Structure 1
Amino acid sequence: MATIFITGSSDGIGQETARQLVRDGHQVILHARNEARADQAADAVPEARGVAIGDLSTLEGMHQTAETATALGPYDAVVHNAGVGSGGARQPTGDGLEHIFAINVLAPYLLTALMGLPERLVYLTSGLESVGRVNLDDLQWEHRRWNAMQAYSDSKLYDVLLAFAVARRYPQLRSNAVDPGWIKTKLGGPSASDNLPIGASTQVWLATSDDPAAQVTGRYFKWKQDLRANPEAYDETLQESLLAICAKLTGTLLPA
């Protein structure tokens, strides 16, 4: 039996991941951005051991999430599932950060830095990482003309860089990226081609399985298939540069 923390698990793929894990006999800690959502999450997955609370759109909320989750740990695995899509105009957070970048990239970075390192880490990405582009000079679209879809695609590429950087820095653990597919959720929309169970199954497998194919690190998976990611994701210089920028923006380095 493993203990797993799942960010963004009050609905969608995160909630389905939790359901599959508890069905398999594991202990799960959910996550929600506020008390109301936490109550909804607990009602949806009553077998969960607890719910960590924190709004991942702000640095304060990221710290709160790390603190409340750590108090409910320790963990064998953490699934960085929380994310937002690509709708609308550029939206700054209360910290002045670009909204998509803050939630999709800075939040998993900072939680990784603050919560300690479990044996297994899973970072959710998207097939759109394949068209993402690394732009270290303008990660938050402060100087370019805003393109919401490209900003989202870029953020999902950065998630793969983060997963691979963590895998390289900490070879004793297993850190992988997962494209769950185009799943029928609030984020994926009703036109999505795939259903929730398949969207969660790879995360469950990587977080808990003794299958040798799941006990790897620094890989990119879709539906339990080990695939090649965007070529930029394998560039160690880009990985280190992204970590350095995230450390500067959050004031927090990854653990030594």
Structure 2
Amino acid sequence: MSVLIAIPARFASTRYPGKPLVELKGATGKSLSLIERSWQAACAVNGVDRVVVATDDDRIKDAAEAFGAEVVMTSSECANGTERCAEAHAALGSGFDIVVNLQGDAPLTPHWFIESLVQGLKSAPDAEIATPVLRCDGATLNSLLADRKAGRVGGTTAVFATDHSAMYFSKEVVPFTSKPYSETDMTPVFHHVGVYAYRPDALVAYPSWPTGPLEQLEGLEQLRFMENGRSVLCVEVQANGREFWELNNPEDVPKIESMMAKMGLE
């Protein structure tokens, strides 16, 4: 099955304007932009036929082409990354069996997260979209709770049924738990990893569906699938010693740089 990875990136982020071009220093002090680090993460994935950056901004286009990425220009009217991936897929033509959306703010995404995601979708013929979830240890859960206490929107959490079909996604920390956890404890909370794998038919249909109240309230694009009765598969992935965090706010830059240094990532 042929696989396309599209990396949607926009300059006019509400929470963090210019985010794709923010520089991140690795363990050796080497500084690369967020979009380049996300592109490197995509290129490390096995079994992928093509990787493109999908953007509506010439500054991102120029930066991406300078480090060797293929760029697909998309409309400024795209409401979210899924709509941008749908436009990129249409511009490239048919021929891909699975389209992966690796959002441009997830440079710490290990290749095996995406490989497991693609395999999970291949193995679940009834699912039209799949997304990874990672069980939180106490340190990650405490970081999520600290963001909410400070009024910041940090990571997203997921709850799912025994068959791993999604029940809900939220920027709040769900499910509620009052139990204290040490940093290394495993918790009942799952961190949603901002990557999606779509079957092309569902991706093509997505922009035509109305935006429902849950998507509007949470600002989470995957809820549009659920509000329109489509099945979303949660694929549990393993950290294997890697730390994971997405760049949502300026405060996340030193956190991600610290993680990169600890893991020895350049």
- TM-score normalised per structure 1: 0.38
Structure ranking higher in helix proportion: 1
Query: Which structure is higher in RCO with an 8 Å CA cutoff and minimum separation 6?
Result: 2
Instruction: Determine which structure has more spread, i.e. the larger CA radius of gyration.
Output: 2
Structure ranking higher in strand proportion: 2
